[in-house]
């Protein structure tokens, strides 16, 4: 197993001071930091290998095409997709969801149809469905959660009905940390013949994902949340569904033949990748996945559960702190409130101590409303964090509590 100090050295950004204090980066649910292997890979590609793909006969173009295809293959292995063609590169998880809303749901939705989501969704898994539902007189229905932040599976099942045309839910909640029983939820939906999209943006950095085992129809995530570059996301879709879907955007690379009488389209993935894609991003994502595989899930789990247990215990001892989201199965996300201090004030004071956290509604306003909150402060961890960083967070929160209660 890699020693902690070696892991820290892999991430150059961690070795710096913010506001005169060593950086303590606890905003990993917003974006993860990049290991040097990813930074170097991007730099190497742009310095020595850059060219456009799929259209050149010259060496650099053919080589870039191979690298891009290898990246697709690497992602397919990473989530255990059956075929490389089932992996579509987009701008991010948000665009992947919009693509499914536009290209899959557009032809399916009739007036009074329903898309079932959950109360714990990120806006990215609410708004695209509202837009497409609105165009067809259909509606988006939220399945309720418990006060602890877990799915109420009985109510969930009863909401899936003959009008439900799609189930879309978050694998792990960005605001609460809850890991949903994804396989079970897919199974319940499939029993009723309802296709399923899983938003894996917060799950992929913390656990091995196997789309064939989950049996989901679509799975989406963003590269920047798993140590890769931003501006790149992944849509996984089952091949037979993808090749029946209408294109999302038109342009170069996605066509078979174009004439002014009409155009025919290539199958997936090119069908959905109009124009020059984010080539360096895909190559950077491959470097990130190689890095994760190199560290290994066992090490990641061990380090993250150690940190999470310590954080739960330490923050749990501060009487003024209320943890929001206490599901049994969680990714390392700690959302909390302090009665006397607003989350933005907490985050600003933590920032003066070099501690980076997120404060606000976490792009989940309906969830905040459900919980009767306007905002929370969120510390989200990664395997490169240290126990000592949790201790410093704890001390800082005690001080903040005392300051606002005085």
Partner 1 sequence: MEDLSDLYQEIILAHNKRPRNGEPLIPCTHQAEGFNPLCGDKLTVYLRKSDEEVNEIACNTEGCAISRASGSIMTTMIQGKTVSEIEKQIEETKTLLTGDEEPEIDLAQHGDMAALVGVRKFPARIKCATLAWHALESALRGEVEATTE
Sites of contact with partner 1 (CB under 8 A): 19, 340-345, 348-349, 351-353, 359-361, 374-375, 399, 403-404, 406
Query: Cα-atom radius of gyration of the chain, to the nearest Å?
Result: 22
Beta strands across the sheet bearing 321-324: 321-324, 333-338, 376-380, 358-360
Question: How far apart (Å, rounded) are the C-alpha atoms in residues 75 and 388?
Answer: 34
Sign of the four-CA dihedral 161, 150, 154, 192: positive
Contact 153, 179 (CB under 8 A): no
Q: Which is nearer to partner 1, 208 or 404 (CB)?
A: 404
Q: How far is CA 109 from the centre of its chain?
A: 26
Q: Which helix H or strand E contains 380, and what residues bound it? A: strand 376-380
Which is nearer to partner 1, 243 or 340 (by Cβ)? 340
Query: How is residue 195 written in tokens?
Result: 């296709």
Which one of 74, 105, 216, 363 is the catalytic residue?
363
Distance from C-alpha of 142 to C-alpha of 144, rounded to nearest angstrom: 6
Q: Give the shortest CB-363-to-partner 1 separation in angstroms.
A: 11
Instruction: Select 124 or 375, whichever has its Cβ closest to partner 1.
Output: 375
Of the pair 84, 345, the CB lying nearest partner 1 is at: 345
Q: How far is the CB of 360 from partner 1 (least distance, A)?
A: 6
- Minimum distance between the CB of residue 403 and partner 1, rounded to whole angstroms? 6
Q: Write the DSSP string, 117-146.
A: EETT--GGGTHHHHHHHHHHT-EEEEEPB-
Complex with partner 1: residue 274 or 404, whichever CB lies closer: 404
Question: Shortest gap between Cβ of 269 and partner 1 (angstroms)?
Answer: 36
Report DSSP state, residue 354: T
Cβ(353)–Cβ(21) below 8 Å: yes
Cβ 187 to partner 1, closest distance in Å? 38
74 is catalytic: no
Residues annotated as catalytic are 363
């Amino acid at each position: 197993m890699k020693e902690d100090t070696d892991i820290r050295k892999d991430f150059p950004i961690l070795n710096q001071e913010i506001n005169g204090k060593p950086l303590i980066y606890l905003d990993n649910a917003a974006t993860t930091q990049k290991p040097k292997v990813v930074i170097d890979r991007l730099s190497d590609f742009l310095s020595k290998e850059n060219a456009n793909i799929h259209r050149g006969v010259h060496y650099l173009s053919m080589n870039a095409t191979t690298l891009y295809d290898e990246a697709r293959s690497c992602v397919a292995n990473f989530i255990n997709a059956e075929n490389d063609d089932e992996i579509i590169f987009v701008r991010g998880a948000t665009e992947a969801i919009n693509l499914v809303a536009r290209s899959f749901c557009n032809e399916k939705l009739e007036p009074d149809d329903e898309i079932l989501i959950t109360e714990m969704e990120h806006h990215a898994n609410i708004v695209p469905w509202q837009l497409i539902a609105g165009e067809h007189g259909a509606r988006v229905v939220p399945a309720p959660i418990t006060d602890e932040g877990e799915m109420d599976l009985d109510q969930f099942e009863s909401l899936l009905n003959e009008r439900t045309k799609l189930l879309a839910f978050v694998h792990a909640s960005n605001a609460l940390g809850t890991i949903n029983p994804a396989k079970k939820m897919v199974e319940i939906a499939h029993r009723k013949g309802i296709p399923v999209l899983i938003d894996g943006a917060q799950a992929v950095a913390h656990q091995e994902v196997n789309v064939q085992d989950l049996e989901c129809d679509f799975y989406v995530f963003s590269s920047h949340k798993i140590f890769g570059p931003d501006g790149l996301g992944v849509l996984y879709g089952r091949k037979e569904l993808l090749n029946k879907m209408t294109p999302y955007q038109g342009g170069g690379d996605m066509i078979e033949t174009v004439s002014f009488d009409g155009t025919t389209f290539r199958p997936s993935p090119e069908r959905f990748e109009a124009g020059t894609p984010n080539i360096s991003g895909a190559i950077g994502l491959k470097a990130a996945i190689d890095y994760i595989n190199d560290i290994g899930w066992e090490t990641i789990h061990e380090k993250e559960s150690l940190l999470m247990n310590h954080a739960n215990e330490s923050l749990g001892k501060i009487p003024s702190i209320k943890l929001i989201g206490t599901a049994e199965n969680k990714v390392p996300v700690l959302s909390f409130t302090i009665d006397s201090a607003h989350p933005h004030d907490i985050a600003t004071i933590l920032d003066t101590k070099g501690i980076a956290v997120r404060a606000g509604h976490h792009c989940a306003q309906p969830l905040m409303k459900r919980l009767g909150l306007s905002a929370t402060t969120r510390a989200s961890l990664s395997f490169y964090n240290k126990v000592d960083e949790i201790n410093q967070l704890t001390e800082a929160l005690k001080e903040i509590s005392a300051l606002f209660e005085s």
